Structure 1
């Protein structure tokens, strides 16, 4: 690893670097010379900006301007588009492997973002990044579980109740959390440009080779710049650079087409039950409410309701505030907590339409986080999916760049791992949305979607492992034999909806064959569009978990899994 990646310096080094920076700046301004002519590299400039908090604050603006000048018409090994948790995570992990990474972010951080509640699977990834201590010392509210008031039942979930794996997570102000991750990426040597927008990509056949970018918010007449790359990682969130402007393969689900309305309160009572810092998830007639305690004393409360119900109420003349307040009054838990509180923010709204892309990776590119898929926020899995997909993408790409596996093999593994995580959570969310199934049905659903067997008394732990993201971390390092054995067993035990068990109780049936059996029984005709889609999701999940992708799996992709020691990458099951 190069010397410029070091994050600690002596006073002499600090003075020397600052003098060098000032000398180069003055020469650039007054003598018309460039940074390259003054032997000041991007990496050295980034190192100076990281030498101390005071130096960073003092020279951050200068560094940003100079980096833009240096970035004109240059190339990078890996370009990451987007500086949220997915982008900063994948960039940091690749940089730690000695890979040249440039990250471009449209906004200037810190910036506001919804999605404050994290799940425990994020903690091991923060540890892998080397940023956990920074997050811990920042003072975010610890989250040790959740309180569900759902479908006429009330129960709590405590992370780590029977395990020491990720015993807590955090409730975070995303502006601060995301900023910490992005600053950490800079400290690892990632070249970060904020306030720049990637307008489009330039392809060589079906492989992207360069990106055209401009200053964010500029008009059409502004000068465009180009940066070349070997690989691009799209972490641009729901905006979806690759999908919106090039691939156009995003498909929205018939289910989970919801609208979120939220605000922030002060003076709320603590939760009446549940573990420390728990999120409250409460059923109401037209949807559900979240309640999230934050470290600054504010309480985030949001309503998630179907778009058709929301549209109808608005057409009937109800204001945003009336819809929001009526839902709060309907929830005994949330209403009681907010009785002494005051709403201290305007209401925010956002479409929470769930979607997935036809493919998560292709020649020269990976889609991570929301750029690949988005799931309803019921279980607070957005940041988990972002950081999990970023970790698997970084491991896959690092192995490719080191020549350990082919691009096709690594991308097949990434596709399988991320899609399986997404589909599993989608099925658990769908079971909860039925609302009348009861806790036993939710816990059984979760157990059948794990790669481990468990006793009846441990069913709740399967639910906890799935919603906390821990099960996905296990999958990333699971062996092929275990996946085949336990997923086949789960398929054999599956109860499911609307089908005849006598025809479908064989572990020899894969997901596609289940669908065929359903069609032969004629049961699919009786399903609604939403139910039919969920049947498709079940088939996809089991096909994916059984290593049966839509296309033939390359020989060197069989049995791949993620390793973090001695370095991040993929390994082949021997």
Structure 2
């Protein structure tokens, strides 16, 4: 390992691999430390079409496409009394998404970052980030296979992409704020020879509600299906105590959900049950002098709309653009960091609002689970919902659909009864590519994203260093 690196990335998941790879493509020296040896298991198998432009930018799209993952044609929702589909073919004529085995998927991304020139060290965990003068300057690392093998690496900048483990926000700063909503638990396993979804596009993820939660059904290919139960933490723990264990809670829930029960009739369980808390959170700040937080290290969102890998890769791209322009002198660190903070947080809060409204749309308003997912007045004030609504509208091309979504969200967050109908077909737009600030009119903190001649930030007004660098 080098004793010093220009940029240190902590964590080799989608956020870290994306940020590291895109920075290496810009010619910077990047070292990535990953505590595990890939391939390693990870939940979060359903990928959105919004990831494709980032994979193309990385140059890894063709590798993912050729790997043989299960193509994902969209999604189908069995939501209370309502049913509807999201069909990705309506958004373009190419296959844009997959259901992936994350162990294989994440390894493709990490190996590609290595090919781009990133120094990747696996089985190397970071125990502490050292600060001096208010900035991070070094990382203490530990070999995962040999307790005696440890050391220190200095750097100019660090991107913390250490996931929910959160080296900075969770362990050193203690700056994560958990939302009062989405205090849920997930229990899942894998099944062989489960029946396909009775409705929806080929390869679609299924989402099936029930009074105290919902199930995901993800066809993984090769005859394997992931089926997971999401329910409130208190309900889950009470049922576990009552019934005797996780398997019993899961089995009882399957028996109460007719669609899932039929899909699993005759299927063979192929893995042990896994359980995880799905508490949603966000760090108080996504960046600070000399550092950025990306992916789950910065924020985590309820899995209802399959946005995890989207947020991870999107934040990785934003971090690479912001840091790259800072190092080239196209923007000051303060300007680029303000851009990153606002754009990434807006993307996260937009999705948080939509997930909450999605839960509110359930027609069984007397069920505690769905009421527990509602944003409180205090949370609405903290989230700056007007900015979130503005982002929803500017992120949708069709003004009429934008107004419908705005009216639905605004109505539900301002007194409409939970369970009142909303135009759910318009919420399908959450699966489309999110609009990043790509021109002067969309500029954030005076900057916007540019991909030519390389990834970076340009300054609104045409008089900044970014334009001069690009020859504009």
TM more than 0.5:
yes
Shift of 1:101: 0.3
**Does the alignment pair 1:113 with 2:51?**
no
Residue 369 of structure 2: aligned partner: none
Q: Deviations over 1:181-224 (max 9, x none)?
A: 000011111000001111111111210001111111544xx253
Q: Which has the higher mean CA deviation after the structures are superposed, 183-192 or 450-459?
A: 450-459
Which secondary structure does the structure 1 equivalent of 2:393 belong to? coil
User: What residue number does 2:120 align with?
Assistant: 192
| 2:227 aligned counterpart, secondary structure | strand
Query: Following TM superposition, by how much is the alpha carbon of 1:263 offset from its aligned partner in structure 2, in angstroms?
Result: 0.4
* Cα separation, 2, equivalents of 1:323 and 1:563: 49
User: 1:317 offset after TM fit, Å?
Assistant: 3.7
Correspondent of 1:464 among 401, 404, 428:
428
Matches within 5 A, 1:187-336: 187-219=115-147, 222-336=148-262
**Following superposition of structure 1 onto structure 2, how do residues 94-493 of structure 1 map, counting pairs within 5 Å?**
94-161=23-90, 163-164=91-92, 168-219=96-147, 222-436=148-362, 449-451=392-394, 452=396, 453-455=398-400, 462-468=426-432, 470-471=433-434, 474-477=435-438, 479-480=440-441
Whether the 8 Å CA contact 1:159–1:464 is kept in 2: the answer is no
C-alpha distance 355-321 of structure 1, shift in aligned 2 (>3 A):
same
Change (3 A) 1:234 1:117: same
Aligned length: 417
Q: Give CA-to-partner distance per residue, 1:431-456, whole Å, 9 cap, x none.
A: 12224369xxxxxx989823145225
Q: Which has the larger radius of gyration?
A: 1
Length-normalised TM-score, structure 2: 0.84
Normalization by structure 1: what TM-score?
0.70
Range moving further from structure 2, 321-330 or 188-197: 321-330
The structure carrying a bigger helix percent of its residues is 1
Distance 1:368 1:239 in 2: 12
1:298/1:391 CA distance change after superposition, 3 Å:
same
Q: Contact 2:9 / 2:160 at 8 angstroms: preserved in 1?
A: yes
Gap regions ≥5 residues in structure 1 = 1-69, 439-444, 484-546, 548-556
Q: Secondary structure at the match of 1:455?
A: helix
Which residue of structure 2 aligns with residue 500 of structure 1? Answer: none
Residue 263 to residue 477, structure 1, CA distance change in 2 (3 Å): same
Q: For the Cα contact (< 8 Å) 2:84–2:425, is it kept in 1?
A: no
Q: How many Å separate the matches in 2 of 1:446 and 1:202?
A: 39
Note the aligned Cα RMSD (angstroms): 2.1
Cα gap change, 1:456 to 1:562, in 2 (>3 Å): closer
Q: Is the 8 A contact 1:446 1:462 kept in 2?
A: no
For the Cα contact (< 8 Å) 2:15–2:313, is it kept in 1? yes
CA spacing shift, 1:159–1:446, aligned 2, 3 Å: farther
Contact in 2 for aligned 1:425/1:467 (Cα 8 Å) = no
TM-aligned CA distance change 1:362 to 1:99, over 3 Å: same
CA contact under 8 A between 1:428 and 1:446: conserved in structure 2?
no
Q: Which 4+ stretches in 1 moved above 3 angstroms?
A: 445-448, 456-462
